[in-house]
Amino acid sequence: MRHFPIKRFGLSIGYLLSIHVLALLFFFVFRFVLFIHTDYTFPESIATNRLLQSIAFVRGLWFDNVIGCYILIVPLVVFWIAGLFSYTAKWLYRFANIFFCVFYAIAFGITAANIPYFGYFFKIINSSIFNWFGYAGTTTEMIVGETTYYFPIALGILAIVVFGWIVWRWSAWFYEMSRRINERSSLKGASLVLLGGAALVGLCLFGIRGRRGYNPIKVSQAYYCNDPFLNQIGVNPVFNLLTSYIDDNRKENRALTLMNDEEAVKKVQEYLNRSGIEGLSPIARNVMADSIPTRKNVVMILMESMSAHLMSAYGNTGNLTPFLDSLYKESLTFSNFYSSGIHTNHGMYSTLYSFPAIMKRNAMKGSVIPIYSGLPTVLKANGYHNSFFMTHESQYDNMNAFFRTNGFDDIYAQENYPTEKVVNGFGVQDDFLFEFALQKLNEQALSDQPFFSVLLTISNHPPYIIPPYFKPTRERIEEQIVEYADWSIRQFMTEVARQPWFENTIFVLLGDHGKLVGTPECESPQSYNHIPLMIYGKDIKPGKIDKFCGQIDLAPTLLSLLNISYTQNNFGINLFKEERPCMFFTADNLIGARDSSGVYIYIPDSQQELKYEITDKGLTAAEDNVKFQTLKEYCFSMLQCAEHMVSNQQTVDSKRQ
């Protein structure tokens, strides 16, 4: 009896999908066990909100499907090829059985191990477990000797055995059914299998990618609320372990070795005049305010690629930023202010948490979400409501997970905006971001709670898009977009000035980093790191401070303006009371430092040193002298001390340990 020519292929696909669904069910059981097994007490607002809690399981299914698709892809392709020839054999199913049993045994073993790991560290299992492999005896003794581990071990073994038994039983049934089918290969059947199989492989690859957006799925996608437990349990442990291992082995994440750690720490203590706090870090200190807190709101605008060299206030003759230049005259400004790096993630990280950027490393992007104390956490501890507004997807650069973990209450991103407002891969344009943010700020201002809000712009980043309702005066798109960015800020600030909360708000405007303006004067064009900083508000006396400083100094300086006492554990200084001999920065593959007379650049990969004198005509190559050795010592010690503190997890204050 002849059957429809793709029935045998359909049976094999039914077998594969049944295994896939079964695996998702097992992952769900593990997650549910983690949920009820973990000793965690929800806040009152969450304890009875079952809908909010269930979202973690929905997101968990999303991540589980990614791992399931990774495992499914190979058997799917094998059965697809066999289906093209209407071929079946016992070895095909046996191969699939072994493949599924081996890989899911590993996956379930990792997922079971995550239960005690999470219970101890309150983190999803990650690449740090590989550190234990060098102590096999001690690790084995720990596992065998700790009775609380027996339950997850037994659960993992039971899951592997039951899953394997079901897989072998199902494979025998599906094979027997396919063997009974009497069909021959035909051109029509092969064509149908070719198209159907291609569609299934495409769906599987989409499942591996996890989403349609600009980036494939990242850990950040699991973070959806302000509860640290719910945000984490949606992450599949296998996914987290693999991605954290990959992160660890990226070149940019390798440890920086500029000098001895102890020597670096000692020098930084001397530079910053700190002795540290025992049990916290070698540079921590307690900062006491001179008076009671002002409880002023803070609105920070991080301007994309806004180099100081684009503004007339710094010598640009193009009149590209008329509004910013006018605001500059009414603000407290810092003429020698530098970004920590040349990427947005560096600017956000350093501005908000006062740690320097370390080369090209993205400190926020790891699968294991690091914990920091800084401006958002201090303000939150002092009763502020913190929000972050961005134009693009919230998981870009892992921002959603990182910021929710480190002090922010609300994250507004592309997911919150109308789809028709999205103009490119970086989301909406600046003026819409400001319009949306203003509505949210007005709502927040109705409460008695002060707010801290960060608005991250994007338009001054390629691809440049000029909206039809804005009429630029320049011909080059690179200059038109700067005009538009300036205009967008003008629109926002004009509207803000009409709001009742305006007079009780401090506005901070700075670049996230700069961009190339004019001809590069050296291997590290200064326009990339030299950025404006303006602090504006009713009680802020306009003026210009010429001290060398950077993004890492903004938080302690701003907290001083707010009269807030706190424990500081970072590299920033209060620019009203302290000063630096020079400023240091990085630009992917090089390190730089400068003062009023010289620039020092070091390229770690080639160990090359470059030295420039600052003259009226610009930078001139110079010979080595004591000045350059001082610049070198300063930037090396700061970065090496930062590396030491990050690697030893000395990035929090006493309230968050």
Q: Where are the domains of the chain?
A: 7-248, 251-656
Q: What is the C-alpha separation between 536 and 542, in angstroms, rounded?
A: 8
Q: Round the CA-based radius of gyration of the chain to a whole number and report it.
A: 28
One-letter amino acid for residue 238 of the chain: V
Q: Using 50, 70 and 90 to split pLDDT, how confident is the model at 1?
A: very low
**In terms of pLDDT, which residue wins out, 542 or 214?**
542
- 192's CB contacts (< 8 A; 6+ apart) are 5, 6
The pLDDT tens digits of the residues spanning 616-632 come to 888 888 988 889 999 99
Percent of the chain predicted with pLDDT > 90: 70
C-beta separation of 84 from 194 below 8 A? yes
Contacts of 193 (CB under 8 A, 6+ apart): 6, 9, 80, 83, 84
- Of the chain, the percentage scoring pLDDT greater than 70 comes to 95
Predicted TM-score (pTM) above 0.85 = no
Decide: 263 and 647 in contact? Cβ < 8 Å: no
Strand pairing report for 533-536 and 505-511: antiparallel
295-347: per-residue pLDDT in tens? Answer: 999 999 999 999 999 999 999 999 999 999 999 999 999 999 999 999 999 99
pLDDT, position 140: 66
Q: What is the pLDDT of residue 371?
A: 93
Say which DSSP state 464 is in: P
The encoded tokens of residue 375 equal 């401006």
pLDDT at 453: 98
Residues 425-430: what's their mean pLDDT? Answer: 92
Closest by Cα among 159, 128, 160, 165 to 33: 159
Q: Residue 259 and residue 306: Cα distance in Å, rounded?
A: 33
> Could you give the CA distance from residue 380 to residue 26 in angstroms, rounded to a whole number?
39
574: amino acid identity, one letter: N
One-letter amino acid at 54 equals S
Phi-psi category of 442—alpha, beta or left, where left has phi over 0 and alpha has psi -120 to 50?
Answer: alpha
What residues form DSSP beta bridges with 422? none
pLDDT value of residue 522? 81
What is the per-residue burial (b if ≥16 Cβ within 10 Å, else e) of 335-364?
bbbbbbbbbbbbbbbbbbbbbbbbbbbbbb
Among candidate residues 216, 236, 245, the one with its CA nearest the CA of residue 65: 236
Residue 47's alpha-carbon distances to 42, 43, 44, 51, 135, in angstroms, are: 5, 6, 5, 10, 40
Residue 478 has pLDDT above 90, yes or no: yes
What is the average per-residue pLDDT within 135-148?
A: 61
Position 184 pLDDT exceeds 90: no
**pLDDT at 185 (0 to 100):** 59
Spatial distance between the Cα atoms of 50 and 36, rounded to a whole number of angstroms: 13
User: Which residues make beta-bridge pairs with 411?
Assistant: 388
DSSP output for 297-348: EEEEEEETT--GGGSGGGT-SS---HHHHHHHHTSEEEEEEE-SSSSHHHHH
Per-residue pLDDT of 534-566, as tens digits, reads 999 999 999 999 999 999 999 999 999 999 999
Least confident segment among 22-31, 251-260, 329-338, 346-355: 251-260
Torsion 314-360-367-222 (CA) sign: positive
Using H for helix, E for strand and C for coil, what is the string for 519-546?
A: CCCCCCCHHHHECCEEEECCCCCCEEEE
Reported as a single tens digit per residue, the pLDDT across 264-273 is 999 999 999 9
Is the separation of the CB atoms in 275 and 268 below 8 Å?
Answer: no
CATH number, domain 251-656: 3.40.720.10
**Residue 518 DSSP one-character state:** S
| Distance of alpha carbon 11 from alpha carbon 38, whole angstroms | 41
Q: Which of 30-44, 175-189, 402-416, 473-487 has the lowest mean pLDDT?
A: 175-189
| Residue 1: CB atoms within 10 Å | 6
The tens digit of pLDDT for each residue in 438-456 reads 999 999 999 989 999 999 9
Residues pairing with 615 in the sheet: 618
The residue that leads in pLDDT, 223 or 584, is: 584
Count Cβ atoms below 10 Å from residue 50 Cβ, excluding itself: 8
User: pLDDT, tens digit, for every residue of 280-291?
Assistant: 999 999 999 999
Quick one: CA dihedral 481, 484, 486, 492, positive or negative?
Answer: negative
Cβ-contact 353, 373 below 8 angstroms: yes
More confident residue, 488 or 130: 488
> 45: how many CB neighbours lie within 10 A of its CB?
10
Residue type, 649: Q
Cβ–Cβ under 8 Å, residues 26 and 108: yes
Tell me the per-residue pLDDT of 24-65, one tens digit each, with 9 for 90 and over.
999 999 999 999 988 888 988 899 999 999 999 999 999 999
Q: In whole angstroms, give the CA distance from residue 351 to residue 555.
A: 7
The runs of H, that is alpha helices, within 309-467 are 322-329, 344-353, 375-381, 399-405, 430-445
Q: In the numeric block, which tokens belong to residue 110?
A: 């990792």
**Mean of the pLDDT values across residues 124-146?**
66
| DSSP secondary structure letter of residue 465 | -
- Choose among 224, 221, 225, 218: nearest CA to 240: 218
pLDDT recorded at residue 523: 82
Q: With b meaning 16 or more CB within 10 Å and e meaning fewer, what string describes 452-469?
A: bbbbbbbbbbeebeeeee
The structure tokens listed for 549 are 């400083």
Strand order in the sheet with 297-303: 410-412, 385-389, 451-456, 297-303, 505-511, 533-536, 332-338, 543-550
